[in-house]
Structure formats: structure tokens, C-alpha cells
């Protein structure tokens, strides 16, 4: 393995350097900005979590000041899998066909699979490390104002996709998708376009179906007792009135509040109010599910790459000649 | 299979199609270990396809190939076979020294001195990036990475194409030395027949994807006759000649020259001699040459 490892390091040192520059720049900016942010936070703020937290103007000013920059970093972390797939995965094998060097590379004694192990192994290591650093930076910067007032919440697309284990396995999926696209198209540019689509589509789908994986909490308040504060929970968008039979009625049936509401509820015979929400602790089961999906996708695509690159293994019988082959163009 | 007796390259009904086009078909060859084989043929004849099949970079559509008794592309075959493709592929970002290092890292039989011996035939600074080399120097670095692997079967696609005459002489010398010292089987394609014929002892002629001629060079030459004589009164080839299996002929003024398979009747008033290999190949490569494969004197299998 030392042999292919050397070549992998030599051929990817430019990419590794570029990744290091990106990570150092993001880390420096985060350290600087986060220090300024925590310095400006009022001392009262730990008690102010959630939408309904205390409306401290000093706290609100800090949250509003830093929501944009934190979201920007989280977006960098969110698009990282696509960047890795396009600029690291797509050329990883496609360049061999563009240069014609696949003839040299694949015919060496080490062979296609050991070369792939070194090359893709190093790329995967760098990808996982880079994604983990970015995810950690986002989480670390966000933590002091996490789920506070109008700031970024755990279920916001940028925060959820830019932090946690799913962002790491998604980056590995992006790398595998780019590598396979490069092997299939044998051209870097079309492979980059295919990779962008291959990463964006599952991300958008998972974003859309996220609330479907687990059931939300049902929070009820009988009669006119005040509703439980939503806090940092993620509203499912379903709320309304409870009927005596235990059924639910549409929120639009009565006006929002006050004496009108009481009269209306009484006239309909509603016994109370309800809403459904995901508590912030649901971040972890949802992250685990998505991390697993991306990991399975990454492994499946890698298996396809291996299958397509695999050389013949033994002296075949004459009838055994239609095995898939890496190179078909002379 | 006995290691010393097995053929360096053996093909049985080997064929390869790209889509509906057959690049190579019904190819039966047996190339003995230790030979130097010239692979001749016009562009698109299937030479590169045959070399890629032997290197395991293509799988056959029909039939099968064996190199050194092994399936091309398997680890054993890869360890003992080296290919230098036509465009002399090298990693453009590596320096010459790093390209050799890659050869060492990826091949257990690597011999740095053998590789350096090739580089010493020209002034190649080891720190130069491979992508910046001239075509001639690039050929030498590609050959160095192949010879450094100490292959038993060396497959070279147009190794002489980018070299000036003195460099061709040097490179042919290196190849001959490797063949003499280590018994390396060398299969190379070339259009530079005049120089190639000086080092080959076997020849395979491909045309339109089929083997037209194959076997040891000298017997192939003696199996043909180069004929010179006078045309008939109408300025055509004499009837006695057209009755023979003429491969190719031409008429200049009242004189004809022709290449004929087999002997010619001694009573005819013609000048006859054994053709050189270059004459033989040029005649068979001529667009008007009769290429009826049934008339071919021998397949590689029979002749070898």
C-alpha cells in the first residue's frame, strides 16, 4: 500500500493544500468573529432561549448582528459536499482518461484496485476531516446563541445541513458520486455537472422529507390555559382545537385570542388547544437517519466504482469474455 | 503450462468490436518468447487494439488472448507485461524523477538502473516536469518507465514515431540490448519499416482488422519473389505473370515490377530475387494489393 499511497499523496497535494487554506481561513474567521460575539453577549442570556425568550434588546442586537455571518459559514459547510464531489471526486479518475494515463496507471503491477484504494482512501480521509472541521466550526460558533430569539435554529436548513454527522457522510457521498461520475463520463467537466445534480437532488429531497422520519410531539392545553411555549422546538405546522371526542379541528374556525376566542370555542364545544412540534433533542435522531442514508449511498457508489474498475482475475474459460472493463476506447 | 515453453503472446479467434465496427477479428497468433515482433499495418488496421488487448486494457469481444500463459490484466500478467501506448502517456504534473519513483512504487520488479540507462541516452534533467518534455524526450521517459519494470513482454505502440534518426537508432539499440540480455519479447508497431525491419525477427501484418501475414521474417521473404520484366506489346502485364498469385505490381514505361507469392517459372525471361522485408510489407500494404486471406501463405500459428 505504501506504493499507491505515495502516488496518491503526490497527485493530490495541490487539493490538500487548497483544502487546508479553506479550513484555516474559515477557522480564523470563526475564532475572530465568535470572540467578538461572545464579548458582546449580555450576561443574562442563558435564560433567554427560544422564540418566547426574554426580549432583551442587547441580546437581540447580538443575535441579529451574527445571524448572517454564522449562516454564511453554515452555507459553506452545506455546499462543501458538492464542492468536494465536483473538484476532488470528478477529476479523480476522469483525468486519467483525459490525459490518456489510464493506459499507464491501470497496466502497472499494482493494478486498478490498489491504486483506487490509495487514491480514493486519501481523498475520503481529507473529505471526512474537512467536513468534520467545518461542521465543528459552525456548531461551535452557533452554540452561544443557538435557538435564541430570531437567530438560527437547529432545524434551519443551513444549520441542520452544515453541522452534525450527516454533513460528514454527505461529503463522503459527494466524493463517491464525483468519482463514479468521472469514471462513467471519462470527462471532468460533464462529471462535475453530473455530480452537482447528484448531490443537490438528495439534499433537497431529504430537506423536504425531514419531518416525516419521526412523529412530532403533541402538546395540548385544556380550556383556556396558556399554550406550552414552543421554545426551541420545531413546529410541524399543525395546530388547532381539540373536540370533546378527542378529535381535532382547524385553527381557522376561531379567531386568534381574547374574549372572541373563548366565545367561539364554547360555541363549537372545543375542550382545548393543541400543536405538534419536534423538540430540539430530535436533532440527533434526525441527523443519525440522514447520516446513515448518505453513508449507505456513499458505500453503494464506491462499490460501483470498484466493480467497474475490477480487472480480470483468473484464466477464464473461452466463454467468459464479456466481463465489464475499465477501458473501452483506443 | 511450462513457463519456458509457453508463448509470449497467444491469441485464439481474438476479436474486438467497438459498437458495430470490428477493430480486430479472427486473430490467431502465437509469438514465441524472446522474439522481436514488428506489428505492421495501415492506420486503423487494429494494431493498437491488439496491443491493448494484450495489455489487459481491453477485454475481447470474441476469442481470447494469453500473455506469458496468463490472462491479460491479471496481476501476474501485469507484473510481467509493460505497454507504452501511442501517445506516450505520462502523468503531466510529475517530474521525470517522480515519474520513475511512481514506477518503483507500483512495481515489485522495478530496476532503477534499467530506467536510468534509457534516460542517459538523452540529456533529460530529472527535475523537469513530464508535461514540458519534447515528444522525443517524452518517448524516452515512457520507455524508461516501461523498461524499468523489467517486463518479459514489452508492448510498444509506435515507439519510433516521435524520434529523429539518431534517436531511433539509439532506442532500437536499447531494445535489442534488452532482448539480447534478458530475452524480453518485444512486440512493436511501426510505420518506419526500413529501420524496424533491421531488428525484428517476426512480423505480423494487420489490415482492416485481420491478420494478413504473420511469421518469422526470413521465411516470409523467401516465400515471395520480386520480379522485374518487360510488359507485353500492349503495355500490360504478361499473361504468364497474371496467372501467378501477384500481391502487387506496377508498370513504368515498358517495364513491370511485381511481388509474387511463391516461386515463378524459371523459363520466363524475368529478373527474380528474394524481396527485402520492407519490400514485402510495402507490397502487402499497398492499397491495390490482393488481400485475399485464403491466399496468405501461413497464419502465425502455422508459421511459428
Which pLDDT value is given to residue B198?
83
What is the CATH number assigned to the segment(s) B9-218? 3.40.50.300
Q: Which residue has the higher pLDDT, A166 or A227?
A: A166
Span B189-216, pLDDT tens digits: 998 888 888 889 999 999 989 999 999 9
Which pLDDT value is given to residue A270?
87
Span A110-163, pLDDT tens digits: 999 999 999 999 999 999 999 999 999 999 999 988 888 888 999 999 999 999
Which pLDDT value is given to residue B113?
94
The C-alpha atoms of residue B219 and residue B222 are separated, in whole angstroms, by 5
- What's the pLDDT band for A54 if we cut at 50, 70, 90? confident
Which pLDDT value is given to residue A264?
85
CB contact under 8 A, B94 and A10: yes
Take residue A104 and report the three cell numbers written for it.
499507464
The C-alpha atoms of residue A183 and residue A177 are separated, in whole angstroms, by 10
B106 contacts on A by Cβ (under 8 Å): 3-4, 7, 108-110, 115
DSSP state of B251: E
Residue among B75, B105, B109 whose CB faces A6 most closely:
B105
- A 10 A CB-CB count for B208 gives 15
How many angstroms away from the CA of B268 is the closest CA of chain A?
A: 49
Domain boundaries, chain A: 2-212+282-309, 217-280
Which pLDDT value is given to residue B6?
77
How many angstroms away from the CA of A279 is the closest CA of chain B?
A: 53
| 8 A C-beta contact, residue B59 and residue A321 | yes
Contact status of B73 with chain A (Cβ, < 8 Å): yes
Span A306-318, pLDDT tens digits: 999 988 776 554 4
Burial B92-114 (b: 16+ CB within 10 A, else e): ebbbbebbbbbbbbbbeebeeeb
CB contact under 8 A, B78 and A107: yes
Contact status of A46 with chain B (Cβ, < 8 Å): no
What is the CA angle A184-A190-A193, rounded to 5? Answer: 110
The C-alpha atoms of residue B89 and residue A6 are separated, in whole angstroms, by 19
Which pLDDT value is given to residue B291?
56
The C-alpha atoms of residue A326 and residue A312 are separated, in whole angstroms, by 10
Which pLDDT value is given to residue A318?
46
DSSP state of B168: H
Contact status of B62 with chain A (Cβ, < 8 Å): yes
Q: Residues 110..139 of A with a Cβ closer than 8 Å to B: which?
A: 110-111, 115
The C-alpha atoms of residue B247 and residue B220 are separated, in whole angstroms, by 13
Which pLDDT value is given to residue A46?
64
Burial B59-71 (b: 16+ CB within 10 A, else e): bbbbbbbbbbbbb
How many angstroms away from the CA of A288 is the closest CA of chain B?
A: 39
Residue among B57, B79, B85 whose CB faces A109 most closely:
B79
- What's the pLDDT band for A100 if we cut at 50, 70, 90? very high
Which pLDDT value is given to residue A330?
39
Take residue B252 and report the three cell numbers written for it.
513504368
B78 contacts on A by Cβ (under 8 Å): 107-109, 111, 311
How many angstroms away from the CA of B294 is the closest CA of chain A?
A: 25
Residue among A10, A318, A329 whose CB faces B64 most closely:
A318
How many angstroms away from the CA of B119 is the closest CA of chain A?
A: 18
Contact status of A108 with chain B (Cβ, < 8 Å): yes
A102 contacts on B by Cβ (under 8 Å): 57, 89
Which pLDDT value is given to residue A47?
64
Q: Which residues pair with B153 in a beta bridge?
A: B81, B185
The span from the first CA to the last CA of chain B, in angstroms, equals 18
Q: Residues 83..122 of B with a Cβ closer than 8 Å to A: which?
A: 83, 85, 87, 89-94, 98, 101-109
Strand order in the sheet with A217-222: A217-222, A272-278, A234-242, A248-250
Residue among A7, A312, A325 whose CB faces B105 most closely:
A7
Which pLDDT value is given to residue A56?
81
Contact status of B295 with chain A (Cβ, < 8 Å): no
How many angstroms away from the CA of B272 is the closest CA of chain A?
A: 42
CB contact under 8 A, B89 and A104: yes
- The burial class, CB within 10 Å (0-12 / 13-18 / 19+), for A256 is exposed
Contact status of B209 with chain A (Cβ, < 8 Å): no
Q: Is A198 left (phi over 0), alpha (psi -120 to 50) or beta?
A: alpha
- What's the pLDDT band for A325 if we cut at 50, 70, 90? very low
Which pLDDT value is given to residue A59?
86
Q: Which of A2, A96, A107, A119 to mutate to test the interface with B (most CBs of B within 10 A)?
A: A107
Give the 3-state DSSP-derived string for chain A, with helices as H, strands as E and coil as C. CHHHHHHHHHHHHHHHHHHHHHHHHHHHHHHHHHHHHHHHCCCCHHHHEECCCCCCHHHHHHHHHHHHHHHHHHHHHHHHHHHHHHHHHHHHHHHHHHHCCHHHHHCCCCHHHHHHHHHHHHHHHHHHHHHHHHHHHHHHHHHHHCCECCCCCCCCHHHHHHCHHHHHHHHHHHHHHHHHHHHHHCCHHHHHHHHHHHHHHHHHHHHHHHHHCCCCEEEEEECCCCCCCCCCCEEEEEEEEECCCCCEEEHHHCCCCHHHHHHHHHHHCCCEEEEEEECHHHHHHHHHHHHHHHHHHHHHHHHHHHHHHCCCCCCCCCCCCCCCCCCCCC
Residue among B18, B52, B74 whose CB faces A313 most closely:
B74
ipTM: 0.85
The span from the first CA to the last CA of chain A, in angstroms, equals 29
Which pLDDT value is given to residue A45?
64
The C-alpha atoms of residue B179 and residue B35 are separated, in whole angstroms, by 8
Span A212-245, pLDDT tens digits: 999 999 998 887 788 888 888 898 888 888 888 8
How many beta-carbon pairs under 8 angstroms link A with B?
Answer: 113
Span A244-285, pLDDT tens digits: 887 888 888 887 777 788 888 888 888 888 899 999 999 999
The C-alpha atoms of residue B248 and residue B224 are separated, in whole angstroms, by 11
Take residue A100 and report the three cell numbers written for it.
490518456
Which pLDDT value is given to residue A306?
96
Span A9-26, pLDDT tens digits: 999 999 999 999 999 999
Contact status of B55 with chain A (Cβ, < 8 Å): yes
Domain boundaries, chain B: 9-218, 223-292
Burial B222-250 (b: 16+ CB within 10 A, else e): ebbbbbebebeeeeebbeebeebebbbbe
Residue spans of chain B under pLDDT 50: 1-4, 293-304
Backbone φ and ψ for A72, nearest 5 degrees, come out as -60, -45
Q: Are strands B271-273 and B224-230 parallel, antiparallel or unpaired?
A: antiparallel
Contact status of B82 with chain A (Cβ, < 8 Å): yes
Span A55-78, pLDDT tens digits: 788 888 888 999 999 999 999 999
Q: Which residues pair with B129 in a beta bridge?
A: B95
Contact status of A99 with chain B (Cβ, < 8 Å): yes
What mean pLDDT, rounded, does chain A reach? 89
The C-alpha atoms of residue A317 and residue A321 are separated, in whole angstroms, by 8
A104 contacts on B by Cβ (under 8 Å): 85, 89-91, 145
Q: Which residues pair with B66 in a beta bridge?
A: B10
Shortest CA distance from A326: residue in chain B:
B57
**What 3-state DSSP class applies to B216?**
strand
Burial B264-293 (b: 16+ CB within 10 A, else e): beeeeebeeeebebbbbbbbbbbeebebee
Which pLDDT value is given to residue B32?
94
A326 contacts on B by Cβ (under 8 Å): 57
> Cβ contacts of residue B93 below 8 Å, gap of 6+?
A11, B129, B130, B131
Take residue B48 and report the three cell numbers written for it.
493498437
B105 contacts on A by Cβ (under 8 Å): 2-4, 6-7, 110
Contact status of B167 with chain A (Cβ, < 8 Å): no
Shortest CA distance from B84: residue in chain A:
A104
Amino acid at each position: 500500500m505504501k506504493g499507491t499511497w505515495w502516488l496518491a499523496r503526490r497527485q493530490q497535494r495541490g487539493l490538500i493544500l487548497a483544502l487546508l487554506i479553506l479550513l484555516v481561513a474559515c477557522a480564523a474567521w470563526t475564532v475572530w468573529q465568535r470572540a467578538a460575539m461572545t464579548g458582546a453577549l449580555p450576561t443574562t442570556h442563558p435564560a433567554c432561549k427560544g422564540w418566547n425568550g426574554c426580549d432583551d434588546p442587547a441580546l437581540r442586537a447580538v443575535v441579529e448582528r451574527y445571524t448572517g455571518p454564522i449562516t454564511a459559514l453554515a452555507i459553506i459547510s452545506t455546499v462543501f459536499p458538492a464542492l468536494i464531489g465536483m473538484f476532488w471526486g470528478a477529476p479523480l479518475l476522469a483525468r486519467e482518461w483525459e490525459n490518456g494515463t489510464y493506459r499507464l496507471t491501470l497496466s502497472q503491477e499494482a493494478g486498478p484496485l490498489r491504486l483506487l484504494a490509495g487514491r480514493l482512501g486519501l481523498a475520503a480521509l481529507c473529505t471526512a476531516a474537512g467536513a468534520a472541521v467545518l461542521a465543528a466550526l459552525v456548531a461551535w460558533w452557533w452554540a452561544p446563541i443557538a435557538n435564541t430569539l430570531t437567530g438560527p435554529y437547529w432545524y434551519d436548513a443551513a444549520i441542520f445541513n452544515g453541522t452534525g454527522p450527516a454533513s460528514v457522510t454527505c461529503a463522503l457521498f459527494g466524493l463517491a458520486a464525483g468519482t463514479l461520475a468521472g469514471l462513467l463520463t471519462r470527462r471532468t467537466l460533464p462529471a462535475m455537472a453530473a455530480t452537482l445534480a447528484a448531490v443537490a437532488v438528495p439534499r433537497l429531497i431529504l430537506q423536504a422529507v425531514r419531518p416525516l422520519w419521526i412523529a412530532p410531539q403533541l402538546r395540548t392545553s385544556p380550556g383556556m390555559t396558556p399554550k406550552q411555549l414552543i421554545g426551541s422546538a420545531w413546529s410541524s405546522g399543525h395546530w388547532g382545537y381539540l373536540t370533546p371526542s378527542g378529535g381535532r379541528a382547524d385553527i381557522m374556525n376561531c379567531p386568534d385570542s381574547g374574549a372572541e376566542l373563548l366565545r367561539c370555542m364554547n360555541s363549537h364545544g372545543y375542550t382545548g388547544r393543541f400543536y405538534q412540534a419536534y423538540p430540539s433533542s430530535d436533532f440527533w435522531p434526525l441527523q443519525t437517519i440522514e447520516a446513515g442514508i448518505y453513508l449507505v449511498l456513499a458505500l453503494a457508489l464506491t462499490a460501483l466504482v470498484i466493480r467497474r474498475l475490477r480487472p480480470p482475475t483468473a484464466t477464464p474459460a473461452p466463454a467468459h469474455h464479456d466481463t465489464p472493463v475499465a477501458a473501452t476506447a483506443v | 503450462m511450462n513457463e519456458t515453453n509457453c508463448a509470449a503472446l497467444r491469441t485464439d479467434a481474438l476479436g474486438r468490436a467497438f459498437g458495430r465496427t470490428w477493430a480486430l477479428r479472427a486473430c490467431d497468433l502465437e509469438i514465441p518468447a524472446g522474439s522481436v515482433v514488428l506489428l505492421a499495418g495501415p492506420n486503423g488496421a487494429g494494431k493498437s487494439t491488439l496491443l491493448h488487448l494484450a495489455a489487459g486494457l481491453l477485454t475481447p469481444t470474441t476469442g481470447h488472448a494469453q500473455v506469458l500463459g496468463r490472462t491479460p490484466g491479471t496481476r501476474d500478467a501485469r507484473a510481467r507485461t509493460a505497454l507504452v501506448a501511442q501517445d506516450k502517456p505520462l502523468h503531466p504534473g510529475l517530474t521525470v524523477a517522480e515519474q520513475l519513483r511512481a514506477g518503483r512504487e507500483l512495481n515489485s520488479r522495478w530496476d532503477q538502473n534499467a530506467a536510468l540507462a534509457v534516460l542517459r541516452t538523452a540529456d533529460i534533467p530529472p527535475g523537469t516536469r513530464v508535461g514540458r518534455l519534447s515528444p522525443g524526450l517524452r518517448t524516452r521517459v515512457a520507455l524508461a518507465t516501461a523498461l524499468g519494470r523489467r517486463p518479459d513482454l514489452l508492448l510498444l505502440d509506435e515507439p519510433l514515431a516521435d524520434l529523429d534518426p539518431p534517436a531511433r537508432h539509439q532506442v532500437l539499440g536499447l531494445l535489442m540490448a534488452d532482448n539480447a540480455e534478458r530475452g524480453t519479447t518485444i512486440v512493436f508497431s511501426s510505420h518506419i519499416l526500413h529501420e524496424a525491419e533491421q531488428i525484428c525477427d517476426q512480423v505480423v501484418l494487420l489490415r482492416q482488422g485481420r491478420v494478413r501475414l504473420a511469421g518469422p521474417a526470413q521465411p516470409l521473404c523467401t516465400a515471395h519473389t520480386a520480379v522485374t520484366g518487360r510488359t507485353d506489346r500492349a503495355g500490360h502485364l504478361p499473361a504468364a505473370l497474371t496467372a501467378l498469385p501477384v500481391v502487387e505490381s506496377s508498370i513504368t514505361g515498358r517495364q513491370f515490377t511485381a511481388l509474387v507469392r511463391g516461386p515463378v517459372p524459371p523459363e520466363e525471361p524475368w529478373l527474380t530475387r528474394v524481396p527485402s522485408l520492407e519490400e514485402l510489407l510495402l507490397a502487402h500494404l499497398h492499397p491495390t494489393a490482393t488481400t485475399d486471406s485464403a491466399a496468405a501463405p501461413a497464419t502465425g500459428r502455422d508459421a511459428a
